[in-house]
Amino acid sequence: DAGVIQSPRHEVTEMGQEVTLRCKPISGHNSLFWYRQTMMRGLELLIYFNNNVPIDDSGMPEDRFSAKMPNASFSTLKIQPSEPRDSAVYFCASRPTGPGNTIYFGEGSWLTVV
Amino acid sequence: RKEVEQDPGPFNVPEGATVAFNCTYSNSASQSFFWYRQDCRKEPKLLMSVYSSGNEDGRFTAQLNRASQYISLLIRDSKLSDSATYLCATSYDKVIFGPGTSLSVIP
């Protein structure tokens, strides 16, 4: 079975540019999570969706960040405009609905903003 | 205070040693608990779920104390291949991870 698929795997962009990260969750998984990982702050939950609906976006750092899930098989995380402090690994993860279920991560999108 | 906290580490242990990781969580609504392993420059992967009665998987033993809001992971007879970062996670609706503890097993 295909796992969580993220793209791009690596991106280097200039400050001020728009960045769009994409995620395809595992088929049949109803919950989708976006995390950001840095050495300083660890693995932070940015936002999560249940059945394509954003449930909690309290982890989104500021208005420059936005996330959408137009259907069950696709989600985007957008940063506009990007700043050097946004440099991090962004992970998408999915699971079947329910707190007892395991979440599965994609391989991550490594973002560098220069 | 972070919602999930772990020993800061790093832990450097010789092969064959027993090592224990501790994790505390603050949200009493947490329903499920997990240990994940993350290798350098890779995504976190599930190591094991943690059940109320405690559970074991080979050299790995996980314990949960709901009253103290505490989770532990014990690794016996550690191998070089156990070198990684270990993250605990709690789940109610969302899944929150601790900062991770780095383990290096030394020959």
Residue-wise pLDDT tens digits, A58-113 = 999 889 999 999 999 999 999 999 999 999 999 999 998 877 889 999 999 999 99
Give the CA distances from residue B30 to residues B59, B69, B96, in Å, rounded to whole numbers and listed in that order: 26, 9, 10
Q: Take residue A89 and report the two structure tokens written for it.
A: 């690994």
Q: Which residues of B touch A48 (CB under 8 A)?
A: 93-95
Q: Which of A43, A50, A104 sits opposite B87 (nearest CB)?
A: A43
Which of B100, B105, B99 shows the shortest CA–CA distance to B83? B105
Residue A79 Cα, gap to closest chain B Cα (Å): 21
Question: What whole-number distance in Å separates Cα of residue A42 and Cα of residue A78?
Answer: 20
What are the tens digits of pLDDT across the range B13-41?
A: 999 999 999 999 999 999 999 999 999 99
Determine contact: B94 vs chain A, CB below 8 A. Answer: yes
Q: How confident is the model at residue A1 (pLDDT cuts 50, 70, 90)?
A: low
Cβ–Cβ under 8 Å, residues A67 and A76: yes
Q: What does the radius of gyration of chain B's CA atoms come to, in whole angstroms? A: 13
